[in-house]
Each structure stands twice: as C-alpha cells, then as structure tokens.
Amino acid sequence: MSSYSVWAPRAGNIAETAVFVAQKFSWGAAIFTFLWAAWHRHYFLALVLALGFGAVQALVLVPGVHPLLPGLISNLLALWLGWEAASLRDWLYERRGFRSLGEVRGDDDEEAELRFFAGLEPAAPSATPRPILVGTPSDLLGLFAPGGA
C-alpha cells in the first residue's frame, strides 16, 4: 500500500479539484527529470533542472575532470530527484496556495480516492433562510396592491 497526500485549492469543490500525490519513488522523475517536472506543470523547477543538468554536463569541458564524473553526478542527481519528487510536488502545491487535506493509504490512485472521499462527512443541507423585507409595503413591487388599499 502506498501513502498519498491530498491537496486542494482553497476555493472550489474538493471532489473536482483534489490532487493525490503518491509518497513513493518516482521512476518518471528519475528518468525524465525536467520533462517530468514540466508534465506536472512545475515549469520553474523544470527550468532549474534543465540548467542544472546542463551545467553538470559542461564539466566535461573542464580540463582535469574525469570524463565519467558528469555522468555519475547526473545519475546521482536523478536518483535523488526520484526519491524527493513527492516532497517537491507537495512543497510546490503548498506554494501555489493549495491546502493539505491530509493523507490516505491505498493500493493505487483509485483506491486512495475512494478511501479519502468515503471518510469525508457529507455536508449538512443548508436551509434557505426566508427573505427579510425592508421598507413599507407600498415600496414593494407586485401585481396586487397591499391589503386595505
């Protein structure tokens, strides 16, 4: 079973806007790095990753650096990103103004969603208050004149 953190915007319907982030190693983040970040709409992170990996690959041009060192550093950074992908997504959702709704466990995304929404209490039906009339009856618009006229 995996653990999922649940995020939703401050305004809006939770059922339509909730985001479930799996708290596990992300192979997509480890292999595709900045493409993974762009896919999840973390564009600034994608730019930082692209520039960072480009800078690491530029180490090949530095005299005296072993030619395998940039590849080793890139692979280690990619593995680190795979482990920290869920934490980065949580942090970025928090910075975007989403609120954390909690954590839920499930075998997959669907089961986590079912467990989360089954645990929510249904909203109490709101009783529509009766309108408050302000002013005298002669101020009211209508088809009939007020009584006694």
Total number of domains constituting the chain: 1
Residue 122 lies in a domain: no
pLDDT for 28: 93
Residue 9 lies in a domain: yes
Helix (H) or strand (E) holding 117: helix 109-119
pLDDT tens across 117-138, in order? 988 766 555 556 665 555 555 5
The SS3 assignment for 89 reads: helix
The DSSP secondary-structure symbol of 40 reads T
Residue 120 lies in a domain: no
141 pLDDT above the threshold of 60: no
pLDDT tens across 27-78, in order? 999 999 999 999 988 899 899 999 999 999 998 888 998 989 999 999 999 9
Residue 60 lies in a domain: yes
